[in-house]
A and B are shown apart, each in its own frame.
Chain A
Amino acid sequence: MKLTTQTYALLAVMFLISADVWPKSDQVKATLGSAGRATLGVLDWFGGIAEFCARLIKTAVMPPYEGRELVRQMDEVGAKSLPLVALAGAAIGVVLSLHTRDSLTQFGAESMLPTLIILSLVKESGPIITALVVSGRVGAGIGAELGSMRVTEQIDAIEASAVNPYKFLAATRVLACMLMLPLLTIVANFCGIITGWIANAIVEPITLKLFLTQGLKEASFTDLLPSTLKTVVFGFIIGMVGCFQGMRAKGGTAGVGRAATSAVVLSSLFVILADVVLVRLIITFFPQ
């Protein structure tokens, strides 16, 4: 990807903000128009999350490790999202089957249905639906929980107890999201394939074995693995945005609500944007 001059300028401004060099005083903001203030606010946010991310990675790799809390968060993110993700995957399987059957029948290509359902699910629908469901459930949960801990001084209390809240609260949640997203995606894919087969078999009887054999005939390593592993990045985004929004919450219960809402909105948005970039990269590095 070729970087334009504007991109370099944007990166330079982001760096200045993250390094606390960019003037952020109210006086500077007052002299700007509303558009300027909004732009500064956006750049300020990017600078903040970049700094947060750097601090998180630095503390996460240094011992002692928070194994106990990580397991608790994996349960919170993984096990407790499982029913919702399975249901969403199952619904997508049925919808794909219903939608594509008629179109393929028109072209006399019904035999392609298993391939289409399985590849659509595994390559795109499964990962993105899982990420969006987790973003809604877990992103909001993290934003609200950490936001509430921030405004009730619980994060200060953790710090006062000589425990690093970035490591204890944030790093464990981000890592749990990164580890659980691929597993949840596999569950969503599995449920979607099963319900896709059922929806298909009701109209035109076909055994599961034949459905899978036909569907996976065209599938390869480059279809399955990169698409599932890209959800690690989605997990990183959901965890990072949720923790960042939660830990900077202020303004009482209204601030907690804002943190939860913005965590969902921003993480969903960045998941979709990241998907565009990741699909492009997968096509480039794992050509068909």
Chain B
Amino acid sequence: MENNNYNPAIRVHSLTKSFGEQRVLDRIDLEVARGETLTVLGRSGTGKSVMLKLLIGLQKPDGGEIEIDGEEITAMHLDDLNRIRKRVGFLFQNAALYDSLTVTENVAFPLRRHTKMTDGERRDRVSELLSRVGMEEAGEKMPADLSGGMKKRVGLARALALDPEIMLLDEPTSGLDPITASEINELIRELQRERNISSIVVTHDMRSVETVADRVAMLNGGSILVEGTLESLKQSGDPLVKKFIQDCREVR
């Protein structure tokens, strides 16, 4: 029986998005409970990153509903949407650090915009965040001087700056060596445990799934092919799911 008081952190109903003639997402239904981490798997071009962008209104869906913490956002006024965005941390696929700002200024950007912290308080907070992601020594560096893994760490620190209740992570370990990828996975898991953050993690990395996921969904052809725990995914009889998991193991 459905519990009417149940209010998930993220609820997506019948979400549809097309680019020209190509339907990228086709009536997607998803839920993420509070404190839960849902990992979204799928081949490249199956609309995973588009789905994350739809969830914070960076793109508009063609149809369907998106509820963040019980509030429907697809038709929301920009001011209300920005109120929601402040509670969501977003890590972009290539970190998307601001080129013209130092690492410290990048992490301080949301704090400067949305808090009334004094310079000293902001400095302490940035220092704490950078230290949390192991980047305390890189504060004065420019993004161009950082490696891929370092950029991801700084991106993660910036996403955490406003103490978000929800995190959307777009391929946090793609393009990283196995050791750095493993460190980032551990870091994400620790942060989730510490702060009880609800997350959606888009990834191709099975190691990432094994470390951070509470539940897994696999996208294919714009629809969710299978959804459940990692164990149920591994036992799935679907040939595409089997092949995906097998290929990921071979890559490892």
Which A residues are closer than 8 A to B by beta carbons? 26, 145, 148-149, 152-154, 156-164
- A218 to B97 CA separation, bound complex (whole angstroms): 56
Q: Is the CB of B93 within 8 A of A160?
A: no
* C-alpha gap A149/B94 in the complex (Å): 12
Q: Across the interface, do B85 and A153 meet the contact criterion of CB distance under 8 Å?
A: no
Pair B85/A157 contact, Cβ less than 8 Å: no
Question: In the bound complex, what is the Cα–Cα distance between A142 and B99 (angstroms)?
Answer: 14
**Chain B residues positioned under 8 Å from A160 (CB to CB):** 56, 58, 85, 88, 90, 92
Tell me what chain A mostly uses at the interface: helix, strand, loop, or mixed. helix
Q: Which of B2-10, B109-117, B129-137, B186-194 makes up part of the contact surface?
A: B109-117
The 10 closest A-B pairs by CB, nearest first: A162-B82, A157-B96, A153-B96, A162-B85, A160-B90, A162-B86, A161-B110, A153-B92, A154-B96, A156-B58
Would B98 and A157 count as touching, CB distance under 8 A?
A: yes
* Closest A residue by C-beta to B52: A160
A246 to B100, CA, bound (A): 16
A152→B96 contact, CB < 8 A? yes
Distance (whole angstroms) from the CB of A156 to the closest CB of chain B: 5
What residues on A are CB-neighbors of B110 within 8 Å? 161-162
Residue of A with least CB distance to B20: A26
Does A157 contact B92, Cβ atoms closer than 8 Å?
Answer: yes
Q: How large is the interface on B (under 10, 10 to 19, 20 to 34, 35 or more residues)?
A: 20 to 34
**Residue B125, interface by CB 8 Å:** no
Q: Determine which of B85, B88, B99 lies in contact with A148 in the assembled complex, contact meaning CB atoms within 8 Å.
A: B99
Which of A145, A149, A156, A161 has its CB near the most chain B CB atoms (within 10 A)? A161
Measured between beta carbons, the chain A residues less than 8 angstroms from B60 are none
Residues of B contacting A161 in the complex (Cβ-Cβ under 8 angstroms): 85, 109-110, 113-114, 158
- Nearest CB of chain B from residue A73's CB, rounded to whole Å: 11
Q: Does B251 contact A (CB under 8 A)?
A: no
Please name the residue on chain B nearest to A164 by beta carbon.
Answer: B78
For residue A152, which residues in chain B have a CB less than 8 angstroms away from its CB? 94, 96, 99
Which residues from A are CB-within-8-Å of B93? 153
Name the residue of chain A whose CB is nearest to the CB of B170: A153
**Distance in Å from the Cβ of A240 to the closest Cβ of chain B?**
21
Instruction: Chain A residues near B88: list those with CB within 8 A.
Output: 160
On whether the beta carbons of A162 and B113 are closer than 8 Å, the reply is yes
Inter-chain CA distance A148–B99, complex, in Å, is 9
Chain B positions 203-252 with a Cβ under 8 Å from a chain A Cβ: none
Query: Which residues, 74 to 124 on B, are CB-close (under 8 Å) to A?
Result: 78, 82-83, 85-86, 88, 90, 92-94, 96-100, 109-110, 113-114
A contact residues around B99 at 8 Å (CB): 148-149, 152, 154
